[in-house]
Structure 1
């Protein structure tokens, strides 16, 4: 199982989040950055992170969600911080936007992602 992570509108945010996630012991060696497919009607494409969680299951997804939440809280404390939304895409292509730290909502997102079937476009497929 792989999940994809994207942040729209801030060119520095994704590399910063990648560095943050790479400090998580359970995620080391599982992160890669790739060019995402261009959307119809757009010129070019951006990049996204892909995290391989095949053998980590719900615990791995929880690690990712908790790390993203901590990173968002850290960014909000920085001077002139803009509100940032991280989009986590489940293996079946279902996107989840994370912009806050509501523990119940985040736990629900983690369970939803972990229980989604692997889609045909899953990079791990």
Structure 2
């Protein structure tokens, strides 16, 4: 069972992801609505893994990913993006993301990505 931080600016998206994760046997130990909150939460709750939306207000996901990886090179982050954000995905992987999942989320794909990243 992994302790996961869920980052998305849309509350309903966070709820969906939380639902998938808890049904998959994981524990959601924190939530954030933008990159700044994500960085703050990360250092507070020390999750095993983060699901991070790319497009968010205040600070977007890739920016937050870079800072989290700077603070903790071992950080495991899975990026979430809408269809058609392929360029962003490449940037995210270069910045240290371990995987990415595409919205609308499919439960199996989300859990598979987490399994793969956590080994």
* TM-score, scaled to structure 2: 0.31
Q: Which has the higher contact order (CA 8 A, sep 6+)?
A: 1
**Greater CA radius of gyration, 1 or 2?**
1
Superposition TM-score, scaled by structure 1 size: 0.30
